[in-house]
Amino acid sequence: MRYGLFGGTFNPVHFGHLRAAEEVWETLKLDRIILIPSANPPHKDMHDMAPARDRLEMVRLAIRRSDHLEVSDVEIVRKGPSYSIETVRHFRRIYPEESSIFFIIGLDAFLEITTWKSYRDIFLLCHFIVLARPGFGQYNLEDFLCKSISPEYTFDAKKSCFFHPELLSIFYTEITQLDISSTDIRSRIKEGRSVRFLLPREVEDYLMEKGLYR
């Protein structure tokens, strides 16, 4: 089985997140993708952050009709900061040894990975799926890998993948860039403007009912 781990604050979850997950699932032929809302992200400002349980419920509502997307509360029930290394170790323990785990991350965030706790261990436990971002290209990823992780990475253009003799592979993936952001959605709600068609209707109904982001 091939599992994708897609973490984030999802504050709130929107169609940009969901479309990215769907395209990664299809392109990389994954069996399942697990969306993992973070409770206490060490690299994020907690200002204007909805309660973790509400963000979890919004993700659950957003994906309830999908048979290959699921949500996990592993980072919410765990005490302390939401370190990715602990999350990867958790799924490595619960999935069969022969399973492949893919950590899904935007290129802009990946370029900050050397600031993460025990980041080198993550490269031994799972593959990466690095999503293209506006203003960044494959050359940014290649330069970063060679200078900051290991000069032994080689790129296979046919598979759009960086291979390494000891570390697990890193896939560079282009996805549809939807101009939707959680920050913009929160601003619209504060200003009393419409957020229709930026996120699933069930999520919109939930956050309006709860009075989130007002």
pLDDT tens figures, 168-194: 999 999 999 999 999 999 999 999 999
Give the contacts of 95 (CB within 8 A, at least 6 positions apart). Answer: 1, 3, 101
Average pLDDT over residues 93-118: 97
Residue 45 and residue 49: Cα distance in Å, rounded?
8
Flag whether 187 is in a domain.
no
pTM (2 d.p.): 0.96
Average pLDDT over residues 197-207: 98
Residue 76 and residue 205: Cα distance in Å, rounded?
23
Flag whether 191 is in a domain.
no
Flag whether 137 is in a domain.
yes
Residue ranges making up the domain that contains 60? 2-178
Q: Is the pLDDT of residue 112 over 80?
A: yes
Flag whether 66 is in a domain.
yes
Give the contacts of 122 (CB within 8 A, at least 6 positions apart). Answer: 84, 85, 88, 103, 113, 116
Average pLDDT over residues 67-89: 95
Flag whether 6 is in a domain.
yes
| Contact (Cβ atoms closer than 8 angstroms) between residue 175 and residue 24 | yes
Q: Read off the pLDDT band of 46 (50, 70, 90).
A: confident
Flag whether 81 is in a domain.
yes
Q: Read off the pLDDT band of 139 (50, 70, 90).
A: very high
What's the pLDDT at 78?
Answer: 92
What's the pLDDT at 47?
Answer: 79
Average pLDDT over residues 129-133: 97
Q: Read off the pLDDT band of 79 (50, 70, 90).
A: confident
Question: What's the structural domain count of the chain?
Answer: 1
List the CATH number of the domain containing 132: 3.40.50.620
Q: Read off the pLDDT band of 165 (50, 70, 90).
A: very high
Flag whether 193 is in a domain.
no
Residue 132 and residue 23: Cα distance in Å, rounded?
12
Q: Read off the pLDDT band of 76 (50, 70, 90).
A: very high
Average pLDDT over residues 99-110: 98
Flag whether 131 is in a domain.
yes
Q: Is the pLDDT of residue 200 over 80?
A: yes
Least confident of 25-29, 38-42, 65-69: 38-42
Q: Is the pLDDT of residue 62 over 80?
A: yes
Residue 86 and residue 118: Cα distance in Å, rounded?
9
What percent of the chain clears pLDDT 90, i.e. is strictly above it? 92
